[in-house]
Amino acid sequence: MLRPQDGPTRERRRLDGLWRFRTDPTGEGRDAGWWRAPLAQSVEMPVPASYNDVLVDAAVRDHVGDVWYQTTVRVPRGWAGQRVVLRFDAATHRAVVWVGDEEVVRHEGGYTPFEADVTAHVRPGEEVRVTAVVDNRLTWESVPPGIVSDGPGGPRQDYFHDFFNYAGLHRPVWLYSTPAAHVSDVTVVTGLSGSTGTVDYRVEAEGADGLECRVVLSDATGEEVASGRGATGTLEVPDVHPWRPGEGHLHDLRVELVDGADVVDAYVLPVGIRTVEVRGTEFLINGEPFYFTGFGKHEDLPVRGKGHDDVHLVHDFALLDWIGANSFRTSHYPYAEEVLEYADRHGIVVIDETAAVGQNLGMIGGITGRSYPPTFSAEAIGDAGREVHAQAIRELVARDKNHPCVVLWSIANEPEAHTDSARAYFEPLFTLTRDLDPTRPVGYVNQILASADGDQLSQFADVLMVNRYYGWYTQTGDLAAAGPALLAELQAWARHGKPIIVTEYGADTVAGLHSALPQPWSEEYQVEFLDTYHRAFDQVDAVIGEHVWNFADFATKAGIIRVDGNKKGVFTRDRRPKAAASALRRRWRGPGPWRR
């Protein structure tokens, strides 16, 4: 799905700002038709933001179910004769949208965009009411899953991941125009052969019968380097300047629908020419071995929750640069497209993950002492849940397929992986991902119960991604025992003959807590913990990446193992470095044995 953009044939308007907002604790709004009139008893709520922490109100923070958002927008007069589209970059976790009195779109999944052609429902120059009901409930048929039950104070939401279930309109909302005949999708696949770059392109258009498709590729200076005609083709770029880690060199692919000399529609897609390949235990970008340094992150900030914010976007990337990180994982859901575009422009490598987290009821039951049905069964995540997961993969690939920064798909985080039912659930999802995108490796992120011998999913993965917590959840405080246990396990995984990225390792650390003898929770322990892991990584050639858990402290649901959130951040929630930050900086910016 193409991002809205301004151009000679297109315009966009952001609907961000203060919207009318109201929770719907009894779920009456859908029957009562709240979209038909200005939202009664509403308060003002900023968009984009999670609604939870903005107001100081437990009933809003812990709300389970529908909330209503509404705004009024004037459609620009100049859009007469154009096609008008309403797009939500995200509504977490599902939404129904009305324009005036008419329902225009509904969408499942909290982290991918959706849109509706609303031309028939608006009049250029006039105002129109836009209403969205957003539902934050997690069930067996959502990704991620959860359970809603009746509690004394109303519905209760349980879920199986630790990060807080922030909800609302987290990302920009757009009204945009295109001509009736328009470019509806573009797909590029890039290649390198010696010093020549190739760009295979495929253009989809609607209402464009009789129009010709023309493409022009230009370099960063705006100079044309290749051109083509027709909806599909291959462009060749001699002496190409590729996109590479640390250098986000982009070309612009200008796609035009033309009628003789008239340009009916034009769309410009940034293109990074690069290749990705797994060979043996190596991960190659442009044919060169790449070693991932960086973090699993979260979209998480004080007050705004998961609301996108350009200030923090730039600041987080500045911190990644400062510390020497060359990559991150979008744990545990697709991030705002602004994040990927920034990574494209700055040469930061991304592992792109779906929102499938918490699909491991055996592990959760072990931690909580509660009993659950088998994870992948008709009583829990069944066929309907898998179809939602499949759709989440389709939407992720459709949205992110053209980003050079994305080098690897992660289709789930820490699912159950040692059972036949897990294999039956995941095999088709791996196949689906490869069918959708044959150009990028695919993997899933595993956890400690998935041993190198017992795991049933890694056979489908191109890259092994492992999360390990020796010295924290096991061998707590005992790094002398943790190091050898970790090394032995990595050596066992290395026998699979695939590249290994350690996608999580970390220790909760209270900023400012010090201890001469490194004790868990102290800054010194976090430093020694990471050091212990690095010594093991440096002994296993198949380890080709290290992502510390987590970039920053983040908000979690209430629980007895978290004090004011998850404290495994190398930065605090307000982005101040802990001692581990300087230690990582020395390793990642230094010559490092990992640069092999």
In the complex, the residues that contact ligand BDP under the rule CB under 6 A are 161-162, 332, 413-414, 447, 467, 504, 549, 566, 568
- Closest-by-Cβ residue to ligand BDP is 162
CB of 36 to ligand BDP, least distance (A): 41
Q: Which letter does DSSP use for residue 416 in this model?
A: -
| Set 108, 299, 395, 414: catalytic member | 414
For residue 146, the cross-strand partners are: 159
> Crossing angle of helices 420-436/383-400, nearest 10°?
30
CB of 56 to ligand BDP, least distance (A): 26
Contact between residue 65 and residue 155 where contact means Cβ atoms under 8 Å apart: yes
Q: With respect to ligand BDP, which residue has the nearer C-beta, 447 or 458? A: 447
83-88 and 94-99 strand pairing? unpaired
Q: 478-487 b/e with 16+ CB inside 10 Å = b?
A: ebeebbebbb
Contact between residue 216 and residue 254 where contact means Cβ atoms under 8 Å apart: yes
Contact between residue 285 and residue 349 where contact means Cβ atoms under 8 Å apart: yes
Q: Which letter does DSSP use for residue 560 in this model?
A: T
Residue written as tokens 């997961």? Answer: 389
Integer Cα distance of 581 and 585 in angstroms: 6
Among candidates 177, 175, 176, 173, which has minimal Cα distance to 17?
A: 173
Among candidates 339, 361, 359, which has minimal Cα distance to 350?
A: 339
504 in catalytic set: yes
Tokens of 463: 């890259």
CB of 360 to ligand BDP, least distance (A): 9
CB of 542 to ligand BDP, least distance (A): 21
| Set 108, 256, 416, 504: catalytic member | 504
For residue 283, the cross-strand partners are: 278
Tell me the C-alpha to C-alpha distance, in Å, between residue 546 and each of 187, 290, 476: 31, 11, 21
Q: With respect to ligand BDP, which residue has the nearer C-beta, 416 or 504? A: 504
CB of 335 to ligand BDP, least distance (A): 15
Q: With respect to ligand BDP, which residue has the nearer C-beta, 352 or 414? A: 414
Integer Cα distance of 110 and 135 in angstroms: 9
CB of 537 to ligand BDP, least distance (A): 18
CB of 457 to ligand BDP, least distance (A): 15
Query: What is the number of alpha carbons within 13 Å of residue 593 lying toward its C-beta?
Result: 10
Q: With respect to ligand BDP, which residue has the nearer C-beta, 163 or 174? A: 163
Q: With respect to ligand BDP, which residue has the nearer C-beta, 89 or 353? A: 353
414 in catalytic set: yes
CB of 447 to ligand BDP, least distance (A): 6
Query: What is the number of alpha carbons within 13 Å of residue 539 lying toward its C-beta?
Result: 15
Q: With respect to ligand BDP, which residue has the nearer C-beta, 267 or 525? A: 525
- In 3-state terms, what secondary structure has residue 354? coil
Integer Cα distance of 250 and 243 in angstroms: 6
Q: With respect to ligand BDP, which residue has the nearer C-beta, 395 or 504? A: 504
Contact between residue 446 and residue 417 where contact means Cβ atoms under 8 Å apart: yes
Tokens of 522: 């102290």
Q: With respect to ligand BDP, which residue has the nearer C-beta, 344 or 414? A: 414
Active site residues: 414, 504
